[in-house]
Protein backbone atom coordinates (compact mmCIF):
# COMPACT_ATOMS: atom_id res chain seq x y z
CA UNK A 1 0.00 0.00 0.00
CA UNK A 2 0.97 3.65 -0.39
CA UNK A 3 3.70 4.78 2.01
CA UNK A 4 2.77 8.41 2.63
CA UNK A 5 5.88 9.10 4.73
CA UNK A 6 8.02 8.22 1.71
CA UNK A 7 6.22 10.72 -0.55
CA UNK A 8 5.11 13.43 1.88
CA UNK A 9 7.89 15.88 1.03
CA UNK A 10 7.52 15.31 -2.71
CA UNK A 11 3.77 15.91 -2.55
CA UNK A 12 4.19 19.05 -0.44
CA UNK A 13 6.82 20.34 -2.86
CA UNK A 14 4.66 19.53 -5.90
CA UNK A 15 1.42 21.11 -4.70
CA UNK A 16 2.58 23.65 -2.10
CA UNK A 17 1.82 24.07 1.58
CA UNK A 18 -1.70 25.47 1.18
CA UNK A 19 -2.87 22.67 -1.15
CA UNK A 20 -1.04 20.10 0.99
CA UNK A 21 -3.06 21.23 4.01
CA UNK A 22 -6.20 20.89 1.87
CA UNK A 23 -5.43 17.25 0.99
CA UNK A 24 -4.87 16.48 4.68
CA UNK A 25 -8.32 17.94 5.44
CA UNK A 26 -9.83 15.96 2.54
CA UNK A 27 -8.30 12.79 3.99
CA UNK A 28 -9.78 13.60 7.40
CA UNK A 29 -13.22 14.28 5.94
CA UNK A 30 -13.11 11.16 3.76
CA UNK A 31 -12.37 9.04 6.82
CA UNK A 32 -15.35 10.59 8.61
CA UNK A 33 -17.69 9.99 5.65
CA UNK A 34 -16.29 6.51 4.94
CA UNK A 35 -18.83 3.74 4.41
CA UNK A 36 -16.88 0.50 4.91
CA UNK A 37 -14.18 1.21 2.31
CA UNK A 38 -10.61 0.11 3.07
CA UNK A 39 -9.11 2.91 5.18
CA UNK A 40 -5.71 2.81 3.48
CA UNK A 41 -7.34 3.17 0.06
CA UNK A 42 -9.40 6.12 1.31
CA UNK A 43 -6.27 7.79 2.70
CA UNK A 44 -4.28 7.23 -0.48
CA UNK A 45 -6.94 8.59 -2.84
CA UNK A 46 -7.64 11.58 -0.61
CA UNK A 47 -3.98 12.48 -0.16
CA UNK A 48 -3.23 12.17 -3.88
CA UNK A 49 -6.45 13.55 -5.37
CA UNK A 50 -4.71 16.85 -6.24
CA UNK A 51 -1.24 15.43 -6.98
CA UNK A 52 -1.23 16.90 -10.52
CA UNK A 53 -2.60 20.32 -9.54
CA UNK A 54 -0.42 23.34 -10.39
CA UNK A 55 1.89 21.16 -12.52
CA UNK A 56 -0.46 20.28 -15.35
CA UNK A 57 1.76 21.50 -18.19
CA UNK A 58 4.82 19.71 -16.80
CA UNK A 59 2.97 16.42 -16.37
CA UNK A 60 1.21 16.72 -19.74
CA UNK A 61 4.62 17.02 -21.38
CA UNK A 62 6.27 14.33 -19.25
CA UNK A 63 3.49 11.76 -19.70
CA UNK A 64 2.13 12.77 -23.10
CA UNK A 65 2.07 9.16 -24.31
CA UNK A 66 -0.53 8.42 -21.59
CA UNK A 67 -2.50 11.64 -22.04
CA UNK A 68 -4.98 11.04 -24.83
CA UNK A 69 -7.24 13.82 -23.56
CA UNK A 70 -9.80 15.78 -25.52
CA UNK A 71 -9.29 19.50 -26.03
CA UNK A 72 -12.26 19.97 -23.71
CA UNK A 73 -10.24 18.43 -20.86
CA UNK A 74 -6.92 20.06 -21.73
CA UNK A 75 -8.45 23.53 -21.98
CA UNK A 76 -10.35 23.21 -18.68
CA UNK A 77 -7.87 23.93 -15.89
CA UNK A 78 -10.48 23.14 -13.22
CA UNK A 79 -10.69 19.50 -14.30
CA UNK A 80 -7.40 18.81 -16.11
CA UNK A 81 -5.57 18.00 -12.87
CA UNK A 82 -8.12 15.31 -12.00
CA UNK A 83 -7.63 13.52 -15.33
CA UNK A 84 -3.84 13.83 -15.04
CA UNK A 85 -3.96 12.77 -11.40
CA UNK A 86 -4.20 9.00 -11.96
CA UNK A 87 -1.21 9.11 -14.32
CA UNK A 88 0.83 11.12 -11.82
CA UNK A 89 -0.30 8.90 -8.93
CA UNK A 90 0.78 5.83 -10.85
CA UNK A 91 4.12 6.95 -12.25
CA UNK A 92 5.27 9.45 -9.62
CA UNK A 93 3.81 7.90 -6.47
CA UNK A 94 3.66 4.20 -7.35
CA UNK A 95 -0.11 3.71 -7.01
CA UNK A 96 -1.58 1.04 -9.28
CA UNK A 97 -4.94 0.32 -7.66
CA UNK A 98 -7.64 1.10 -10.24
CA UNK A 99 -10.22 2.05 -7.61
CA UNK A 100 -7.87 4.64 -6.14
CA UNK A 101 -6.93 5.94 -9.59
CA UNK A 102 -10.59 6.28 -10.59
CA UNK A 103 -11.48 8.08 -7.36
CA UNK A 104 -8.73 10.59 -8.18
CA UNK A 105 -9.85 10.90 -11.81
CA UNK A 106 -13.49 11.69 -11.07
CA UNK A 107 -13.13 13.80 -7.93
CA UNK A 108 -14.02 17.02 -9.78
CA UNK A 109 -16.51 15.93 -12.42
CA UNK A 110 -18.21 12.88 -11.02
CA UNK A 111 -19.45 10.30 -13.51
CA UNK A 112 -22.34 7.93 -14.10
CA UNK A 113 -22.62 5.02 -11.69
CA UNK A 114 -19.98 6.21 -9.24
CA UNK A 115 -18.82 3.73 -6.63
CA UNK A 116 -19.20 4.62 -2.95
CA UNK A 117 -15.43 5.04 -2.87
CA UNK A 118 -15.54 7.59 -5.71
CA UNK A 119 -18.44 9.40 -4.04
CA UNK A 120 -16.56 9.65 -0.74
CA UNK A 121 -13.50 11.27 -2.33
CA UNK A 122 -15.70 13.55 -4.47
CA UNK A 123 -17.64 14.68 -1.39
CA UNK A 124 -14.66 14.97 0.95
CA UNK A 125 -13.02 17.35 -1.52
CA UNK A 126 -16.21 19.38 -1.83
CA UNK A 127 -16.92 19.69 1.89
CA UNK A 128 -13.64 19.48 3.80
CA UNK A 129 -13.67 21.67 6.90
CA UNK A 130 -12.16 24.79 5.28
CA UNK A 131 -14.64 24.88 2.41
CA UNK A 132 -16.88 27.89 2.88
CA UNK A 133 -19.63 28.47 0.34
CA UNK A 134 -23.40 28.63 0.36
CA UNK A 135 -24.76 25.15 1.00
CA UNK A 136 -21.58 23.52 2.30
CA UNK A 137 -23.06 22.88 5.75
CA UNK A 138 -26.02 21.11 4.19
CA UNK A 139 -23.64 19.14 1.98
CA UNK A 140 -21.69 17.98 5.03
CA UNK A 141 -24.91 16.94 6.74
CA UNK A 142 -26.04 14.99 3.68
CA UNK A 143 -22.62 13.36 3.24
CA UNK A 144 -22.96 11.68 6.62
CA UNK A 145 -26.51 10.49 5.88
CA UNK A 146 -26.73 9.48 2.23
CA UNK A 147 -23.93 9.54 -0.33
CA UNK A 148 -26.24 9.71 -3.34
CA UNK A 149 -28.25 12.62 -1.96
CA UNK A 150 -25.03 14.44 -1.08
CA UNK A 151 -23.44 13.91 -4.50
CA UNK A 152 -26.65 15.05 -6.22
CA UNK A 153 -26.80 18.15 -4.01
CA UNK A 154 -23.15 18.93 -4.79
CA UNK A 155 -23.59 18.41 -8.52
CA UNK A 156 -26.68 20.63 -8.53
CA UNK A 157 -24.72 23.37 -6.78
CA UNK A 158 -21.79 23.05 -9.17
CA UNK A 159 -24.03 23.14 -12.22
CA UNK A 160 -25.97 26.17 -10.93
CA UNK A 161 -22.72 27.99 -10.20
CA UNK A 162 -21.31 27.24 -13.65
CA UNK A 163 -24.54 28.36 -15.34
CA UNK A 164 -24.62 31.57 -13.29
CA UNK A 165 -21.03 32.30 -14.32
CA UNK A 166 -21.74 31.38 -17.96
CA UNK A 167 -19.11 28.65 -17.88
CA UNK A 168 -18.97 25.33 -19.72
CA UNK A 169 -20.37 22.32 -17.86
CA UNK A 170 -18.33 19.19 -18.46
CA UNK A 171 -20.52 16.39 -19.89
CA UNK A 172 -19.56 13.84 -17.22
CA UNK A 173 -20.98 16.15 -14.57
CA UNK A 174 -24.34 16.32 -16.31
CA UNK A 175 -24.29 12.54 -16.88
CA UNK A 176 -23.47 11.95 -13.21
CA UNK A 177 -26.40 14.11 -12.12
CA UNK A 178 -28.82 12.56 -14.57
CA UNK A 179 -27.77 9.06 -13.55
CA UNK A 180 -28.42 9.80 -9.87
CA UNK A 181 -31.80 11.35 -10.67
CA UNK A 182 -32.84 8.31 -12.70
CA UNK A 183 -31.72 5.98 -9.91
CA UNK A 184 -33.53 8.04 -7.29
CA UNK A 185 -36.76 8.39 -9.27
CA UNK A 186 -36.82 4.85 -10.65
pLDDT one-digit tens code per residue, 70-83: 999 999 989 999 99
Domains and CATH numbers, the chain: 4-185 (1.10.3210.10)
CB 175 within 8 A of CB 112: yes
pLDDT in tens, 29-42: 999 999 899 999 99
If you average pLDDT over residues 157-169, what whole number do you get? 96
If you average pLDDT over residues 79-88, what whole number do you get? 98
pLDDT, residue 3, reads 87
If you average pLDDT over residues 146-174, what whole number do you get? 97
pLDDT, residue 161, reads 96
Q: Can you state the angle between helices 4-33 and 39-48, rounded to 10 degrees?
A: 110
Residues in Cβ contact with 16 at an 8 Å cutoff, skipping those fewer than 6 apart: 54
Amino acid sequence: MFDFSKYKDKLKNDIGEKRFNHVIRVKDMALKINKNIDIEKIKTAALLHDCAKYNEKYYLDKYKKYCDFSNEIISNKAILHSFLGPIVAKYEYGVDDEEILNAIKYHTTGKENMTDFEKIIFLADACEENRNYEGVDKLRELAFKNLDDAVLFSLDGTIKSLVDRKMVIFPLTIKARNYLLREKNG
